[in-house]
Amino acid sequence: MKGFLGKRAIASAISLVGLIILVFFLSRLTGDPTDLYLPLDASQEARENFRNIHGLNDPLMVQFGRFVGDLARLDFGMSIRRAEPALDAVLRGFAWTLQLAAITMVLVTLLAIVIGSLAAFRVGGLFDRLATFFSLIGASAPDFWIAIVAIVLFSVNLGWVPTSGTGTPWHWILPIGVLFIRPFGLILQVVRGSMISTLSSAYIKTARAKGVKNRPIIFVHALRNAMLPVITVIGDQAAGLLNGAVVVESIFGFPGVGKLMIDSILQRDFAVVLAAIMVTALAIFVMNLLIDVLYAVLDPRIRY
- Averaged pLDDT, 122-143: 84
- Output the average pLDDT for the chain: 78
Query: Which residues, 6+ apart, have CB-to-CB distance to 33 below 8 Å?
Result: 50, 54, 56, 80, 267, 268, 269, 270
CATH 1.10.10.10 describes domain 86-303: no
**What percentage of the chain reaches a pLDDT higher than 90?**
1
Burial classification of residue 182, based on how many CB atoms lie within 10 Å of its CB (0-12 exposed, 13-18 middle, 19 or more buried): buried
| pLDDT tens per residue across span 141-193 | 888 888 888 888 888 888 888 887 777 888 888 889 888 988 898 889 888 88
* Degrees to nearest 5, angle at CA 56 with 34 and 90: 80
| pLDDT tens per residue across span 188-246 | 988 888 888 777 777 666 766 767 676 676 666 676 777 777 887 888 788 777 766 77
What pLDDT is attached to residue 107?
A: 92
pLDDT at residue 272 is higher than 80:
yes
pLDDT at residue 1 is higher than 80:
no
Assign 30 a pLDDT band (cuts: 50, 70, 90).
low
244 vs 77, more confident: 77
